[in-house]
């Protein structure tokens, strides 16, 4: 499934969730989302990096240059306090939406 196939805003919450446990660089974020989704979601760079810049400009994540596992310099992204609060709000909203969709599909 491509990010353009997802409901608008989904990529942002997936990125925030992938950063909930540790800082990651862009490629690692994309790989984490792909792995956790069982290879269903494959995030392209053309979608990922604009989303990262948007989240950073909103103050939900912060970035710093560090060495990655291969010794190259990479921007590592970390959730801010505001990002953690936004993630919790988004997860609650997704839970309500998911439940409503499941009920509708079951009983419509």
- With beta carbons less than 8 A apart as the criterion, state whether 76 and 63 touch: yes
Give the angle subtended at the CA of 11 by the CAs of 87 and 30, to the nearest 5°: 105
Single pTM value for the model: 0.86
Q: For the segment 6-37, what is each residue's pLDDT rounded down to a tens digit?
A: 565 789 999 999 999 999 999 999 999 999 99
DSSP-based three-state secondary structure for 63: strand
Can you list the domains of the chain with their CATH numbers?
A: 3-107 (1.10.10.10)
DSSP strands (E only) in the chain: 24-25, 61-67, 73-79
CA separation, residue 2 to residues 5, 11, 67 (Å): 5, 10, 29
Q: Tokens 């419509």 identify what position?
A: 108
Q: Tokens 């190259």 identify what position?
A: 72
Q: For the segment 56-75, what is each residue's pLDDT rounded down to a tens digit?
A: 999 999 999 999 889 999 99
């Amino acid at each position: 499934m491509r990010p353009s196939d997802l409901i608008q805003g989904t990529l942002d919450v997936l990125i925030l969730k992938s950063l909930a446990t540790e800082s990651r660089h862009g490629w690692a974020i994309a790989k984490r989302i792909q792995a956790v989704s069982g290879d269903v979601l494959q995030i392209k760079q053309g979608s990922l990096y604009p989303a990262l810049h948007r989240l950073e400009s909103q103050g939900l994540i912060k970035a710093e240059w560090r060495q990655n596992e291969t010794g190259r310099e990479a921007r590592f992204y970390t959730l801010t306090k505001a990002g953690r609060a936004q993630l919790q709000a988004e997860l609650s909203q997704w839970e309500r939406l998911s439940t409503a969709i499941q009920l509708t599909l079951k009983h419509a």
